[in-house]
Amino acid sequence: MRFSSQSADALIRAGQSAHKDGDLVKANELFGAAVQLNELDPQSRMEYAQSLWETGNRNEAIVQTQAAVKLSQVDIENWQILARMHMESGDLSSALSAINIAIKVDPELMESFDLRGQIHSRRGDYSEAIADYERVLTGTSQNVEVSKAIAHLYLQTGHPKRALAIIAPIHDLYAEDHVPVEILDVEASAFRQLFRYGAEAESLRSAVVQLPDSIDLKLRLAQAFYDDGDQIRARQQAAEVLAIDSSNAQAQFLLNNN
């Protein structure tokens, strides 16, 4: 395609239209042409970068984003996008460097701390991740996703009581029979770490009601009943698993050892 007669702004608009229509190949061509016409325009490069990213050309997308942040400097959103691209590509050191710049430019933007928490978590820097997530919670109204992330980190670092404390306000947002499975899962894992198998079983039982075909949840529930000394219900859950998967070794063990 030839776009020499069009301005960079016109090419961007055409590229956005193609992108909206789902024609990513055409969008790439249009955004790429806009970059060639105006190499100093960070918007052209960011549009091109995100289009490239969606078509799987991650390396070139990062190159274009890096060029855009050099041109825009203080555009925090561009630094956040670059950090996320690096994170999703597995380059966690570069991701951390990029998000640190965003935080330096605006230390009050909670989205940057949220993203840095994700990066720290992937790096295994759990204390730093928790600190970032807690900063988000103090700087915003209740954030369910961040609270869940902190709870998981507390479980990973062996602090089940803290996990329960952070997840309790979220649990209370729902009617008792409508608590999301992912919340019940956190609670069950925390109760297991505390050797509170009866409480673990109650959380898992509520989860199984919502996902009755989940072998994983049924097995965990059977094990919780077993460890709590409730052999009858442990056998019942094991039998239900075997009705779905007749060769399940864990279910066979629980059924035969009750």
- Which stretch of DSSP H or E encloses residue 190? helix 181-193
Supply the mean pLDDT for the chain.
91
Residue 141 is predicted with a pLDDT of: 63
- Residues 136/114, Cβ–Cβ less than 8 Å: yes
What does the pLDDT read at residue 137? 87
Q: What is the pLDDT of residues 89-129, one digit of tens each?
A: 999 999 999 999 999 999 999 999 999 999 999 999 999 99
Q: What is the pLDDT of residues 225-256, one digit of tens each?
A: 999 999 999 999 999 999 999 999 999 988 88
| Position 4 pLDDT exceeds 80 | no
CA dihedral in degrees (20, 22, 28, 29; nearest 10)?
Answer: -100
| CA nearest neighbour of 27 among 38, 42, 15 | 15
* Mean pLDDT, rounded, for 41-54: 91
| Confidence at 258, pLDDT banded by 50, 70, 90 | low
15 has pLDDT over 90: no
Confidence at 6, pLDDT banded by 50, 70, 90? low
* Higher local confidence (pLDDT), 39 or 68: 68
Higher pLDDT, 99 or 29: 99
* Structure confidence by residue, pLDDT tens digits, 132-149: 999 998 876 667 889 999
8 A C-beta contact, residue 158 and residue 189: no
Q: What pLDDT does 89 receive?
A: 96
Each residue of 171-219: pLDDT tens digit? 998 988 899 999 999 999 999 999 999 999 999 999 999 999 999 999 9
How confident is the model at residue 36, as a pLDDT?
Answer: 87
pLDDT of residue 66: 96
**What's the Rg (C-alpha) of the chain?**
25
Of the CA atoms within 13 Å of residue 236, those in its CB half-sphere come to: 8
pLDDT above 60: residue 5: no
pLDDT for 53 beyond 50: yes
The answer on pLDDT for 1 being more than 50 is: no
Most confident of 1-5, 30-34, 60-64: 60-64
- Dihedral-angle region of residue 175 (phi above 0 means left; psi in -120 to 50 means alpha; beta otherwise): beta
